[in-house]
């Protein structure tokens, strides 16, 4: 090797060591930067001549012409990225559901809210107070207790109303949260689309755009919180023999046209309202200038995602707004076979409505008809759909069959002491039959029996109010107290099971995060070692340059 070639080799070594120091320094500088991926200097040994000179002596040796820097790359493990993002979807799906159940528990969990010795809860304690007053009226007569009973009943109605309003407010909160999440996902998709365009342009110029890729990976990680996704990379031909990387994101387990991002094109989500069961629709893919992809994966009218396709925080929020559990319909089951065991806010609204309705129905019947089915004189319902009416339901005639259809009935939100009872034009009837002598309290005994008698809570009875097919779930049999405990215990079981799932998912996700960070994260010890290695290489190359210079000076002085 000539002296000039040796100098060139040493110079390349110096450049390589300098760049290595720059990369290590950059890694250390970004050790606390969120989403930063550790960078590595890529270099190969430079050999100018691929083959030996035919006339060269076999005793000649060519050690090479030094080192050549081929680029700077990132240290990432694609399989760990996939596993981590899947685990993030699992964690956030369970987390969103658990947060919703906890907020439901703050409304419906009666344990510790009552003032009685057993601390059973405010609604149950008020039911017991009403029961005790009726029991006293059996012994002492209704005249001195009707006002007390009405006051107690009015307080019970207020508690039902308060719980129903809290549930309605919670649903409104989750409607806002659902819309916010849809907007957040759309912002993420737009961000990924813009970064894909910038990275594509950088690739064409030969710039690796490592920082842009870090930003894109952060957005992909964030997107995986809301839905489970598949991320793939392939090469796109941009002409003149040049290929650049193209990123595609699809919904995991979706169909081929469930594409969220395809290179520089991306879709957007359209969130529905309660009228369309909070549907989620994919729009056609467009680029940053609004131009449609050709050919487009998604039809012109968009594509509505089925109830079982999405998975993650967005779907959990949606299910909190839509799932009715045992109050589901055949249409619900057709869209999702697991609907009957998924319970969101609508289930607990329906269950509380059911309790209020059955209680009012049984009380009203006893105050209107005797044991023979004859109507009591001066009788009327004790409970109605509001304080200014005696109506217990609203019906309209079906336009096809002509049969009356119930469109509104007593619920937890509207249950009230009836107008006639409030204005004392009627009272609680104590006689067992129309012909019973005065002083008879047989009917009051039946009122009392209502609190201990098993009732049939037929889930389909309330479902038909929506004009939909009744649920096929078996009725719940039990007292009003049992029904109240059933609602609370169901919520408690859902909380417990979801909490266990969330805890297990979190442990797995944390392990994957540590493993992934062990590859892509900056380790100060490794970088300190790299600094010493590159510094020594730099010093050695400089020392070699000095030695070569001294040797050349000696050679020239001899001449």
pLDDT (tens digit, 9 = 90+) per residue, 352-370?
A: 999 999 999 999 999 988 7
Residue 241 Cα distances to 199, 208, 235, 244, 334, angstroms: 18, 18, 12, 10, 51
Both 450 and 467 in one domain: the answer is yes
CA 272, CA 182: separation in Å to the nearest integer?
Answer: 10
- Residue 81: pLDDT band (50, 70, 90) is very high
Q: What angle do CA 132, 134, 135 make, to 5 degrees?
A: 60
CA 559, CA 553: separation in Å to the nearest integer?
Answer: 10
pLDDT of 490 > 70? The answer is yes
- Residue 114: pLDDT band (50, 70, 90) is very low
Q: What is the pLDDT of residues 54-66, one digit of tens each?
A: 666 666 666 667 8
In a domain, 208, yes or no: yes
pLDDT of 373 > 50? The answer is yes
CA 72, CA 40: separation in Å to the nearest integer?
Answer: 6
Residue range of the domain that includes 351: 128-167+338-503
Ranges 178-182, 274-278, 286-290, 328-332: which has the least confidence? 328-332
Output the pLDDT for position 49.
Answer: 59
- Residue 116: pLDDT band (50, 70, 90) is very low
Structural domains counted in the chain: 3
In a domain, 156, yes or no: yes
Both 327 and 187 in one domain: the answer is yes
Output the pLDDT for position 396.
Answer: 85
CA 339, CA 344: separation in Å to the nearest integer?
Answer: 10
Output the pLDDT for position 488.
Answer: 92
Which residue stretches of 323-441 are H helix? 330-335, 345-366, 419-422
CA 528, CA 36: separation in Å to the nearest integer?
Answer: 18
Residues in the chain: 559
**Minimal CA–CA distance to 27: which of 522, 547, 554?**
522
- Residue 227: pLDDT band (50, 70, 90) is very high
What strands lie across the sheet with 265-266, from one edge to the other? 229-239, 242-251, 259-262, 265-266
* Contact between residue 95 and residue 313 where contact means Cβ atoms under 8 Å apart: yes
Both 342 and 293 in one domain: the answer is no
Both 347 and 456 in one domain: the answer is yes
Return the percentage of the chain with pLDDT > 70, whole number.
92
Q: What is the pLDDT of residues 513-526, one digit of tens each?
A: 999 999 999 999 99
**Minimal CA–CA distance to 360: which of 387, 382, 389, 388?**
382
Q: Tokens for 529?
A: 């070692």
pLDDT of 502 > 60? The answer is yes
Phi, psi of 466 (to 5 degrees): -85, 0
Residues contacting residue 455 through CB under 8 Å, at least 6 positions apart: 358, 362, 477, 478, 479, 480, 483
pLDDT of 137 > 90? The answer is yes
Decide: helix, strand or coil at residue 296: coil
Q: What is the pLDDT of residues 245-268, one digit of tens each?
A: 999 999 998 877 799 999 999 999
Output the pLDDT for position 251.
Answer: 95
Both 216 and 269 in one domain: the answer is yes
Both 249 and 156 in one domain: the answer is no
Q: What is the pLDDT of residues 5-26, one digit of tens each?
A: 676 787 888 889 899 999 999 9
In a domain, 7, yes or no: yes
Decide: helix, strand or coil at residue 95: helix
CA dihedral of residues 278, 281, 286, 287 (deg, nearest 10): 50
CA 415, CA 426: separation in Å to the nearest integer?
Answer: 18
- Residue 554: pLDDT band (50, 70, 90) is confident
In a domain, 118, yes or no: no
Output the pLDDT for position 175.
Answer: 98
Q: Tokens for 187?
A: 């912002």
**Unique residue bearing structure tokens 């939909």:** 468
**Element (H or E) spanning 282, and its range?**
strand 280-282
Residues contacting residue 342 through CB under 8 Å, at least 6 positions apart: 319, 323, 325, 336
Residues contacting residue 470 through CB under 8 Å, at least 6 positions apart: 329, 459, 460, 461, 463, 464
In a domain, 110, yes or no: no
Which residue stretches of 206-323 are H helix? 210-226, 313-322
* Contact between residue 258 and residue 251 where contact means Cβ atoms under 8 Å apart: yes
Query: pTM for the whole thing?
Result: 0.90
- Residue 145: pLDDT band (50, 70, 90) is very high
pLDDT of 112 > 50? The answer is no
Mean pLDDT of 199-228: 95
* Contact between residue 277 and residue 210 where contact means Cβ atoms under 8 Å apart: no
Mean pLDDT of 400-423: 90
Helix then strand then coil, in percent of the chain rounded to 5, is 55, 15, 35
Ranges 214-218, 320-324, 371-375, 380-384: which has the least confidence? 371-375
Both 34 and 150 in one domain: the answer is no
In a domain, 513, yes or no: no
- Residue 343: pLDDT band (50, 70, 90) is very high
Both 44 and 158 in one domain: the answer is no
- Residue 461: pLDDT band (50, 70, 90) is confident
Please report the beta strands in 438-506, taking only residues with DSSP state E, as ranges in sequence order.
455-457, 476-478
Last residue of a domain, one of 282, 302, 335: 335
Handedness of CA 499, 504, 508, 510 (dihedral sign): positive
Task: Look over the chain and give the mean of its residue pLDDT values, rounded to a whole number.
Answer: 89
* Contact between residue 218 and residue 35 where contact means Cβ atoms under 8 Å apart: yes
In a domain, 97, yes or no: no
Last residue of a domain, one of 294, 315, 335: 335
Both 370 and 479 in one domain: the answer is yes
CA 505, CA 80: separation in Å to the nearest integer?
Answer: 16
Q: Tokens for 509?
A: 């996700």
CA 267, CA 254: separation in Å to the nearest integer?
Answer: 15
pLDDT of 110 > 80? The answer is no
Residue 207 CB: number of other CB atoms within 10 A? 12
* Contact between residue 279 and residue 303 where contact means Cβ atoms under 8 Å apart: no
Last residue of a domain, one of 335, 359, 383: 335
Mean pLDDT of 327-349: 90
Output the pLDDT for position 117.
Answer: 46
Both 323 and 178 in one domain: the answer is yes
Residue 294 CB: number of other CB atoms within 10 A? 7
**Minimal CA–CA distance to 238: which of 257, 264, 212, 261?**
264
CA 26, CA 21: separation in Å to the nearest integer?
Answer: 8
CA 350, CA 458: separation in Å to the nearest integer?
Answer: 12
Q: 212: buried, middle or exposed (CB in 10 Å: 19+, 13-18, 0-12)?
A: middle
Residues contacting residue 102 through CB under 8 Å, at least 6 positions apart: 495
DSSP bridge partners of 406: 395
Highest mean pLDDT among 42-56, 396-410, 464-478, 504-518: 504-518
Output the pLDDT for position 388.
Answer: 94
In a domain, 37, yes or no: yes
- Residue 220: pLDDT band (50, 70, 90) is very high
- Residue 384: pLDDT band (50, 70, 90) is very high
**Minimal CA–CA distance to 254: which of 193, 297, 192?**
297
Return the percentage of the chain with pLDDT > 90, whole number.
66
Highest mean pLDDT among 35-39, 142-146, 239-243, 303-307: 35-39
Mean pLDDT of 65-76: 88
Both 177 and 299 in one domain: the answer is yes
Both 414 and 464 in one domain: the answer is yes
């Amino acid at each position: 090797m000539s002296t000039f070639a040796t100098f060139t080799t040493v110079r390349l070594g110096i450049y390589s060591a300098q760049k290595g120091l720059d990369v290590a320094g950059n890694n250390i500088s970004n050790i606390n930067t969120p989403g930063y991926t550790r960078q590595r200097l890529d270099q190969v040994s430079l050999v100018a001549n691929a083959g030996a000179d035919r006339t060269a002596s076999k005793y000649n040796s060519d050690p090479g012409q030094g080192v050549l820097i081929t680029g700077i790359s990132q240290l990432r493990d694609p399989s760990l990225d996939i596993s981590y993002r899947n685990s993030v979807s699992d964690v956030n799906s369970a987390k969103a559901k658990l947060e919703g159940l906890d907020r439901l528990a703050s409304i419906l969990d009666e344990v510790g809210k009552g003032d009685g010795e057993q601390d059973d809860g405010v609604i149950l304690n008020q039911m017991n107070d009403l029961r005790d007053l009726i029991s006293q009226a059996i012994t002492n007569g209704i005249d001195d207790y009707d006002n007390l009973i009405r006051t107690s009943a009015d307080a019970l109605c207020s508690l039902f109303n308060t719980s129903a309003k809290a549930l309605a407010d919670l649903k409104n909160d989750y409607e806002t949260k659902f819309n916010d999440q849809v907007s957040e996902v759309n912002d993420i998709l737009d961000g990924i689309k813009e970064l894909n365009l910038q990275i594509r342009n950088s690739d064409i110029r030969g710039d690796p755009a490592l920082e842009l890729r870090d930003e894109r990976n952060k957005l992909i990680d964030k997107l995986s919180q809301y839905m489970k996704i598949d991320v793939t990379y392939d090469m796109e031909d941009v002409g003149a023999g040049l290929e650049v990387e193209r990123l595609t994101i699809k919904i995991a387990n979706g169909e081929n046209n469930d594409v969220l991002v395809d290179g520089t094109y991306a879709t957007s989500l359209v969130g529905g309202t309660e009228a369309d069961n909070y549907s989620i629709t994919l729009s056609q893919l467009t680029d940053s200038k609004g131009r449609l992809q050709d050919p487009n994966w998604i039809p012109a009218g968009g594509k509505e995602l089925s109830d079982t396709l999405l998975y993650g925080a967005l779907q959990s929020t949606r299910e909190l707004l839509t799932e009715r559990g045992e109050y589901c319909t055949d249409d619900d089951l057709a869209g999702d076979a697991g609907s009957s065991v998924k319970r969101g806010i609508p289930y607990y609204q329906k269950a509380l409505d059911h309790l209020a309705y059955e209680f009012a129905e049984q009380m009203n019947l006893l105050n209107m008809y005797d044991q023979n089915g004859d109507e009591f004189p001066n009788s009327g319902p004790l409970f109605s759909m509001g304080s200014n009416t005696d109506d217990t339901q609203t019906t309209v005639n079906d336009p096809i069959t002509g049969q009356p259809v119930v469109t509104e009935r007593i619920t937890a939100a509207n249950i009230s002491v009836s107008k006639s009872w409030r204005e004392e034009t009627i009272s609680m009837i104590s006689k067992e039959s129309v012909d019973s002598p005065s002083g008879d309290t047989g009917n009051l005994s039946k009122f009392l029996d209502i609190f201990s008698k098993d009732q049939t809570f037929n889930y389909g009875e309330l479902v038909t109010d929506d004009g939909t097919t009744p649920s096929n779930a078996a009725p719940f049999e039990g007292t009003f107290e049992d029904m109240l405990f059933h609602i609370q215990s169901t919520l408690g079981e859902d909380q417990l099971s979801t909490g266990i799932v969330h805890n297990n998912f979190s442990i797995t996700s944390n392990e994957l995060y540590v493993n992934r960070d062990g590859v892509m994260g900056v380790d100060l010890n490794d970088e300190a070692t790299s600094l010493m290695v590159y510094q020594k290489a730099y010093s050695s190359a400089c020392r070699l340059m000095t030695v070569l210079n001294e040797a050349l000076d000696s050679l020239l002085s001899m001449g």
